[in-house]
Structure 1
């Protein structure tokens, strides 16, 4: 499956780890001024991958003011400082990135060698990403954005089976729609439309990257802290506590593996709103409703006073009919629901 291309194509991460050794970008100082830099790509119909590749390059200091030369004329391409998606050559040392790999598009190649630098330029200047966090964000942006563009550009299907419906609103399709139709006025300036396409992909790329930096990463730190303090919640170490509601499942699975904890966490407590706590069973995978251990089966589908009576726990609110989540008006009550469910057969 293409979605495992990072595992099947370890070249991508080996390159990224050593990008500074390979000279992924020329040394830059504020006193350096890069004059007349040129980024080369093909002319004619454009695609999402080279549009995104050009946008990423223009985030870097040396290419920030570079002119984009759209041509297939090899003599003109030879004058360019870096070339993407054209030229029939892939050579990092000479900065030629016409892709031949089934797994990567030209955007994937540029991201391979320059992605970490691009992300660091986007990150808040007052709080640059630490090396470990940068690596994590680099991987997540690939998996959640770049990989899709690589796959579409290389014609890699999402599944081995015929999909039941088609998605026509993805970023690659929206970029493609900017190209003039076959029967339209051919005097349209494609270079100007190319700039519009760059703006379109920039909004998507910046949203994804900033979301991982500003929203996703802090949540990861919160989950990690909760895992480290789990024995303060209950001596079993199988119950986590969060003070608020936020996306935690993906982080939990990643961190359990990184911290060597295994799959011992069974329940999560979090404050949903004033006088409302939730106890949620941990699923067997981040997107599954099948749980490692559900709430007590005798409670499924029972509510309010009746649930409190059946459970022998004050102030119960509800238990879902499949036992994956329940509620109580207090933290103590939610904790008691988790502990009782841990002990249940």
Structure 2
């Protein structure tokens, strides 16, 4: 926004706030590149019909939903519902229009391709949950959501005996504090999903280029087990670097959460370390193999690969 452009007027209701209008405001600020009310936009928390009518974007107040004119209330008769008939809150309505743009604003360079997928994931989980609780249709009931996101946002409201809860600007400072909290949660959730999707793409790419589809070699440590299971990859062993400089050899469980292995490491290596393991395995820089044979390590990539390949060779010698 240039200096000669009018600041957009963003309007929601005054008084006690809930998670849906706080989250909606968070999404709008990210999607529109807004940072500070009074500097690059005006935030009005009001019940004044005149101010509501003049708002550029209005949510959770005004008794009207019309995305084309940026009206996002959900309290009126005939308010929109999701395909499963869950009523939208203002958070859900705003998310349908601005969610992907908000997610894209949180993406590091090169990761924008995940924005649509992340927005859809968040809509079916976090945003849907806000809709359910705000409309009183949560299966477990809002009263049981004691540590949930909606509850924690609501606790930013001033208490009944707090002077900040009275007067024409009652709760405005708390509303902005709740918005900062909501943005922090959203940033971390988006980054977690981005990292998960990036890992999935990397694992699938590494598997496609693997010389042996049973052996997955990753040049960085990352979550891989769910990718292997979700895509039914024929991986039996994975080699990847650890944070301590070693290279790990991991076995693959037959199903998520299992402590069994499709192909355990050699029984002769179980519980051995360093020189003893190097002598038995024939891998000079072998470091250890767990007693239960689900993981081992070497000091180098080549050493870990040698351990993995020796394990796979047992299949052909049976």
TM bin, normalised by shorter chain, reads 0.7 to 0.9
Note the C-alpha offset of 1:50. 1.0
Unmatched runs of 5 consecutive residues or more in structure 1: 1-29, 161-165, 257-261
1:270 corresponds to which of 240, 249, 257: 240
Report the Cα distance in structure 1 between the residues aligned to 2:305 and 2:33, rounded to whole angstroms.
Answer: 55
2:206 corresponds to which of 218, 226, 234: 226
The match for 1:96 is 71
Report the Cα distance in structure 2 between the residues aligned to 1:303 and 1:154, rounded to whole angstroms.
Answer: 59
Structure-2 change in CA distance of 1:63 and 1:306 (3 Å): closer
User: CA-to-partner distance for each residue in 1:220-261, whole Å, 9 max, x for gaps?
Assistant: 453243122212xxx3x111112232333455556x3xxxxx
User: CA-to-partner distance for each residue in 1:255-279, whole Å, 9 max, x for gaps?
Assistant: x3xxxxx331222101225762211
Note the C-alpha offset of 1:53. 0.6
Structure-2 change in CA distance of 1:39 and 1:299 (3 Å): farther
The match for 2:93 is 109
Structure-2 change in CA distance of 1:141 and 1:301 (3 Å): farther
Tell me, yes or no, if the aligned pair for 2:261 and 2:294 is still in contact at 8 Å.
no
1:47 aligns to 2:32 (yes or no): no
Secondary structure in 2 aligned to 1:265? coil
1:172 aligns to 2:150 (yes or no): yes
Report the Cα distance in structure 1 between the residues aligned to 2:302 and 2:7, rounded to whole angstroms.
Answer: 66
Secondary structure in 1 aligned to 2:69? coil
Tell me, yes or no, if the aligned pair for 1:82 and 1:95 is still in contact at 8 Å.
yes
1:243 aligns to 2:219 (yes or no): yes
Unmatched runs of 5 consecutive residues or more in structure 2: 75-79
The match for 2:77 is none
Secondary structure in 1 aligned to 2:159? coil
Structure of greater Rg: 2
The match for 2:28 is 57
Secondary structure in 2 aligned to 1:59? helix
**TM-score (normalizing by structure 2):** 0.72
Structure-2 change in CA distance of 1:223 and 1:32 (3 Å): farther
Question: Structure 1 residues 38-47 or 316-325, which shifts more?
Answer: 316-325
Report the Cα distance in structure 1 between the residues aligned to 2:174 and 2:284, rounded to whole angstroms.
Answer: 64
Report the Cα distance in structure 2 between the residues aligned to 1:104 and 1:94, rounded to whole angstroms.
Answer: 18
Cα RMSD (Å): 3.9
Structure-2 change in CA distance of 1:107 and 1:129 (3 Å): same
Tell me, yes or no, if the aligned pair for 1:299 and 1:319 is still in contact at 8 Å.
no
Report the Cα distance in structure 2 between the residues aligned to 1:288 and 1:104, rounded to whole angstroms.
Answer: 35
Note the C-alpha offset of 1:196. 1.7
Report the Cα distance in structure 1 between the residues aligned to 2:282 and 2:129, rounded to whole angstroms.
Answer: 50
The match for 1:136 is 117
Structure-2 change in CA distance of 1:76 and 1:134 (3 Å): same
Question: Structure 1 residues 307-316 or 320-329, which shifts more?
Answer: 307-316
Structure-2 change in CA distance of 1:274 and 1:92 (3 Å): closer
Structure-2 change in CA distance of 1:247 and 1:76 (3 Å): same
Report the Cα distance in structure 1 between the residues aligned to 2:138 and 2:44, rounded to whole angstroms.
Answer: 32
1:82 aligns to 2:57 (yes or no): yes
